[in-house]
Amino acid sequence: MVAIWELLLLVLANHLLRASEAGARPCLRSAMGFDPSYCLSWRVAVEANNVRAWRTVPAQCVRYIEEYMVGGQYCRDLDTVVDQILAYLNGITAAADGLDAWILDVDDTCLSNTLYYKDKHFGGDPFDRMAFKSWALRGTSPAILAVLHLYRKLIERGFKVFLITGRDEEVFCSSTTQNLHAQGFTGYERLIMRSAEFRGAGATAFKSERRKQLVAEGFRIRGNVGDQWSDLLGDCAGDRIFKIPNPMYFVP
């Protein structure tokens, strides 16, 4: 018996030595099917805007992103961002002139498309314009609850909330308005959608132009919240910008 155990230990030691010589980490990768440390780095780089113009989640990270989105960490990250926004909000006051404004993006900021992306491997599949159009026209995207909570605080505190979205006005105006209202986003100042003149323009250019107009109208943009850097960069971005996590897609 002793000889058999000694033999087994020798085989195991030999296997680990060979794996180590090859520079592999067999236990971690084979047990989970992906390398979580690589995927965590990729996600952090995406959130920091260091990885740009990516079309799909890397194949080896699809399961990791799924786990991130539905396993609790995404919700925790959302709560952390909203806690920081609320802390900032506690230090500012809306003036009586009614010109203190906040900008919120719509898709995956106010309304969640995670259910749609579940069928698209959480961003592992390339963007499917027609399928997304059908989804958005249904107007059934649920609210992101942490952001709805923030939204209600902003309205309650007397700020003017402008929802600026890259969705095409002609196609999505009715479904988006209906969806927002059904999910509790009522009482905003304006829903600003992509008009015909901005078709094909990048989100940063379109959103910058709309924010500039608001500033020209006299509004002071106290905060700007979006899940894409293209919501937050450019002109008249606001006193503070807040990035909502989204590792499923990139909007230029």
Residues forming contacts to Mg ion in the complex (CB under 5 A) are 105, 107-108, 227
The number of residues making up the chain comes to 252
Q: Nearest approach, Cβ of 113 to Mg ion (angstroms)? A: 9
Measured from the CB atom, the residue of 66 and 107 that comes closer to Mg ion is 107
Q: How far is the CB of 147 from Mg ion (least distance, A)?
A: 11
222 Cβ contact partners less than 8 Å away, ≥ 6 residues apart: 92, 100, 101, 102, 159, 238, 239, 240
Would you say 160 or 207 has its CB closer to Mg ion?
Answer: 207
Whole-number minimum distance, CB 46 to Mg ion, in Å? 14
Q: Which is nearer to Mg ion, 94 or 203 (CB)?
A: 203
Residue of 69, 112, 86 whose CA lies nearest to 227 = 112
C-beta closer to Mg ion: residue 66 or 227: 227
Q: Which residue is nearest to Mg ion (CB)?
A: 107
Say how far apart CA 240 and CA 8 lie, in whole Å: 61
Closest CA to 172 of 136, 145, 201: 136
- Nearest distance in Å: CB 105, Mg ion: 4
For helices 36-47 and 62-70, the axis angle rounded to 10 degrees is 70
